Amino acid sequence: MFLNEKHIYQFSAISLGFTSVITQIILIREFLSAVSSNELVIGILLSNWMLLTGLGAYIGKFSSPNKTISIVILQVLMGVLPLVTVFSLSFFRNIIFTPGRMLSPFEIYYSSLILLTPFCIFSGFLFTWLSKKVSELLKKNLISEIYSFDAIGSIAGGLLFNFLLLFIFSTFDSLKIIFVINFILAVLFLLVLNKKTAAAITALTGLIIIVMIIPENIDKKALSYLYPNQEIIDYKETPFGKLTVTKVADQLNFYENGTTLFSTDNTIANEENIHYAMVQHSNPENILLVSGGISGTIKEILKYNINSLDYVEINPWIIKEGEKFTDNIVKNKKVRIINKDARLFLKNIDKKYDVAIINLPAPSNIEINRYYTYEFFEEMERRLTKNGVLSINLPPTANYTGAESVEIHSVIYSTLEKVFKNILIIPGGRNYFLASNGQLSYSISNLIESKQINTEYVNKYYIDDDQIKERGNQIINELSSKTEINRDFKPVASFLQWRYWLAHFNISGNIWIFIITIPVLVIVSRMNIINIGLFTTGLTSVSTEIILLISFQILYGYIYQMTGIIITIFMIGLAYGSFRFYKVLGTSFKTYYYVQFVTGVFTLLLPVAIFSLDSLSANGIIVHIIFVILVFVSGILTGTQFSIATKLSDGTLSAIAASSYSSEIIGSAFGALLISAVLIPVIGIFYTCFIIGILNFGVAYLIFAKYK
């Protein structure tokens, strides 16, 4: 047969990486749809993923990889568990927790821990099992080779998913492909290792039967559990997010990654979104609308005698869904639909607007936060006419926990004050911030009547101008002037949203930091200096990935597809570093020290490179190339350090594989949570990189001091 024992184990390692990366990407997407979309949730998920995988790798050192049945069972589990895990997420979300209720960080932590345990434990276990088996088979330390084959599989999985599966297949169709690949490998193990042809044929027949009985509409069935009492009208995996359209009575609800974008037939919200801002301008001719046009706001804007309306929606599939199910995408020569990130759009035009309406959710994550920053307000001010009006909105203070709500409103108000001369807050279903260098007025109903605009709610019969003014001034008087300014690379508003989330459950941010830090410090204290180096390398690598993802998100407004691409590029560098580059450098303690030191230098220089990209953001090709290079270099450093560490470590092969892999994974887990949820929101990207760089220098010094 063309396959021998060595080849089949190598294919298993490739399959492990392939399966893990696709499962991880899909689970992140599905988890955001099931829970909520913010950096802390992603950090918790990645942290648990890595911790459990590291635990599985550690358990694997006690395995005895002698029986064929072991690898056959493990391979089958790698195929079955992704399907079961993703479906379980949708099925149990509203059984265990009340539908629609916001989950606390601890609920997200323990539920994701339980959910991920089977797959992550077995995938980590399989890595150590394969490392030990192949090394024993060829009678030399081949841990780094298995590591690189795992990375090759991750590269293949990332490329396939991001450039093919995402556009052609649904979530569960992609998981079926994983299932088939792993099952076929299990069959090959039976044929190659035990020559059991009959058993292999039986297993293959079972595979065909299982695939045939998996329901075609399993994606829709899973979504029905996430959106109880709502009819699933349509769903679509897009490069920008998981888009779901549901129906309740005659109202359509549009969700992206589980976050409500807007609903149709909400007359009050549509009128407030538009008319509070539009009536402020004496003659609004050119209008900018960012998001939400499908809800019916376009029709409200067209009640004015405008010349043009530029409706910007980054995700073209939202427009397609709107055209399919609503009549709110108005076919009018005055309306121009732009499928592009609004900030990039503004950087590349010379047009000025009389009114700009930003119809987005609160800045609960860094992606949305970029529309509430000083940099965006400054750009917007340049694109407004002399008396142009900008409108943004936040959830009303009544829905927030006092102090946190006041802080968020204070930050946004203070940031607007740095750019605009006049600011009003109009209280309604949401709090509408109106900003302009011209005059603004609370006399909404009087202005509506004078302009003879036909409205159902925003008029003198339903709203009282004096009451609006009193409530608006009351909100402004409660705000603090001693706040930080919300910036692109220091997203203060996002961090305050996170604090509000914690405060809602009476959880202190300091307690959360204490909970995640103390256990890790205890674990690190028991490591030798080589594994401390790997821990630091793991922390640095995941931090670099997160920082680059966030930076890309700040510049371009989306990371949904870019997440997989960056992971794939990182894995290419990882494979090259672990399989080839370390051989060029050699495997001495001196080299180990140098790589740790260079990693520190790279991390310190990273923000310099990122901030320089801001001025080049309009030139997408150059920026994308630089991002690819930075991610690739990070992967090389990580892979090289891992391979050198495995060659320098003492002990049995299984012990080296387990301790090395788990040390790096634990560092990555700690970094994922600490960086995304604490350091970046609190101190910004520059100081985060500075701290990580200094940490690498400190560990490099310890290595040098011990082995000089």
Q: What is the pLDDT of residues 604-642, one digit of tens each?
A: 999 888 877 766 655 667 777 888 899 999 999 998 988
In angstroms, the Cα distances linking 314 to 59, 326, 368, 459 are 45, 19, 12, 33
Q: What is the band of 13 on the pLDDT scale with cuts at 50, 70, 90?
A: very high
Residue 300: how many CA atoms within 13 Å on its side-chain side?
Answer: 29
**DSSP designation for 432:** E
> What single-letter amino acid sits at 620?
G
Give the whole-angstrom CA distance, residue 306 versus residue 285. Answer: 4
Write out pLDDT tens, residues 199-237.
666 666 766 666 666 666 788 888 888 888 888 988 888
Strand partners, 244: 235, 255
SS3 169: coil
Domains of the chain: 1-217 (1.20.1250), 219-259 (no CATH), 265-489 (3.40.50.150), 508-708 (1.20.1250)
> What single-letter amino acid sits at 298?
I
Residue 545 CA, distance from chain mean position: 11
In angstroms, the Cα distances linking 683 to 484, 510, 686 are 11, 15, 8
Q: Specify the length of the chain in residues.
A: 708
Supply 32's token pair.
């955001």
In 577-679, which ranges are continuous DSSP H helix? 582-585, 589-614, 620-648, 653-674
SS3 362: coil
Question: What's the whole-number mean pLDDT along residues 633-654?
Answer: 86
259-263/335-338 β-pairing: unpaired
Residue 663 pLDDT greater than 50, yes or no: yes
What is the structure's pLDDT at 400?
Answer: 44
The share of the chain scoring above pLDDT 90, in percent, equals 29
List, in order, residues 6 or more apart from 88 with CB less than 8 Å away: 115
**pLDDT averaged over every residue in the chain:** 84
List, in order, residues 6 or more apart from 60 with CB less than 8 Å away: 124, 125, 126, 127, 128, 129, 132, 654, 657, 658
Residue 1 pLDDT greater than 50, yes or no: no
What is the structure's pLDDT at 305?
Answer: 92
Write out pLDDT tens, residues 395-406.
886 544 467 778
Question: What's the whole-number mean pLDDT along residues 598-605?
Answer: 94
Question: What's the whole-number mean pLDDT along residues 17-40?
Answer: 81
Q: What is the band of 506 on the pLDDT scale with cuts at 50, 70, 90?
A: low
The pTM of the full predicted model, rounded to 2 decimals, is 0.79
List, in order, residues 6 or more apart from 642 with CB less than 8 Å away: 144, 147, 534, 537, 577, 578, 660, 664
SS3 content of the chain, % helix, strand, coil (to 5): 65, 10, 20
